[in-house]
Amino acid sequence: MTAKVTAFAPAKINLTLHVTGQRTDCYHLLDSLVAFADIGDEIEARAAPQLSLTVSGPMSEGVPSDSRNLMLKAAKLFDPSGTAALSLTKHLPAASGIGGGSSDAAATLRALAELWDLPLSQTEDVLPLGADLPVCLYPAPQRMSGIGEKLERLPALPPCDILLVNPGIEVATSSIFKALTSRDNAPMPDVLPNWHSAKDLANWLHTQRNDLEPPACGLAPEISEVLTALEATNPLIARMSGSGATCFALFPANSAKTDTALDAIQQAHPNWWVKSGAFFSLVENIPG
């Protein structure tokens, strides 16, 4: 029997996030190009007689380790009588638009499927844990629609350097959706292009949107400050992810500009969370 399983919970990045409508239950319809970064949390699941969770790591302050934690909710949903000692090493800021809790919960499900020797949950089963859960179940580039439950796997994205910046504020997703002025916006084109380079991808992203960015900047002006700081480093593109406050910038792969940008932002804003990395995919090169 397996005694210990580890899993990586990568940051989710909404490269685009189009809000295309609203259901009668008030949840919004989305059309989003989702990627993952090799920046994330670490999860461990060990065989144990009871279900427990410990939380540590540089970004663990304020993250609940009790039944409010999505990891414990995910474990209970997967097998109500299942037991394991779970641990979370938190590197991602919480409530920051990069799906930290959802990615942790999804990684927990991957780890527990192995520890308990059970088939991994299906995307529709995990939706009650959060709209971002399904896309985080198999971290790889995907087109996400519906309220988050409709997923289309995409081919690998071109290699890019990614910079993630969070100004140290938590943003409540529901407040940002509520502040939207227009809920019926155009989706992405039916057929997504094949991007051949980071520049190609960024040029296309410039023709698309994150519809939550204007209301988020209105409610949290620090987000505009982050975007201005990122734009000043001359990236291929800078945009907010999810409902914020984390923003991303893309640079050509292995570019010295990425390190320069990271240093400049860290020096000017020592209290901001700033990380650089690359795209991450658990499943490489799935045909689109």
Ligand X SMILES: Nc1ncnc2c1ncn2[C@@H]1O[C@H](COP(=O)(O)OP(=O)(O)OP(=O)(O)O)[C@@H](O)[C@H]1O
Question: Which residues are known binding-site members for ATP?
Answer: 93-103
Which does residue 70 bind out of ligand X, ligand CDM, none, counting CB within 5 to 8 angstroms by kind? ligand X
Which residue in the set 10, 141, 242, 252 belongs to the binding site for ligand CDM (CB under 6 A)? 242
Interface segment toward ligand X; rule CB under 6 A; list 62-70, 159-167, 182-190, 272-280: 62-70
What residues form the annotated binding site? Answer: 93-103
Q: Does 27 bind ligand CDM (CB under 6 A)?
A: yes
In terms of Cα–Cα distance, which of 117, 119, 152, 116 is closest to 134?
152
Distances (CA, A) of 285 to 57, 194, 280: 32, 13, 11
For the CB of residue 94, give the shortest distance to ligand CDM in the complex, in Å: 11
Closer residue to ligand X in complex, CB, 174/285: 174
Count the Cβ atoms, other than its own, within 10 Å of residue 223.
Answer: 26
For the CB of residue 171, give the shortest distance to ligand CDM in the complex, in Å: 10
Interface segment toward ligand CDM; rule CB under 6 A; list 28-36, 43-51, 77-85, 106-114: 28-36
Closer residue to ligand CDM in complex, CB, 17/226: 17
Which does residue 116 bind out of ligand X, ligand CDM, none, counting CB within 5 to 8 angstroms by kind? none
Write out the DSSP string of 88-126.
Answer: EE--SPSSSSS-HHHHHHHHHHHHHHHHTT-PPPPHHHH
Q: Does 285 bind ligand CDM (CB under 6 A)?
A: no
Q: Does 185 bind ligand CDM (CB under 6 A)?
A: no
Which residue in the set 24, 50, 81, 174 belongs to the binding site for ligand CDM (CB under 6 A)? 174
Closer residue to ligand CDM in complex, CB, 10/242: 242
For the CB of residue 196, give the shortest distance to ligand CDM in the complex, in Å: 26
Q: Point out the residues that are catalytic.
A: 12, 132
Closer residue to ligand CDM in complex, CB, 41/116: 41
> Which residues, numbered 89-118, are part of the site for ligand X (CB under 6 A)?
94-102, 104
Q: Which long-range contacts (CB under 8 A, 24 or more apart) does 150-156 make?
A: 151/123, 152/288, 153/283, 153/286, 153/287, 153/288, 154/33, 154/192, 154/286, 154/288, 155/194, 155/285, 155/286, 155/287, 155/288, 156/279, 156/281, 156/284, 156/285
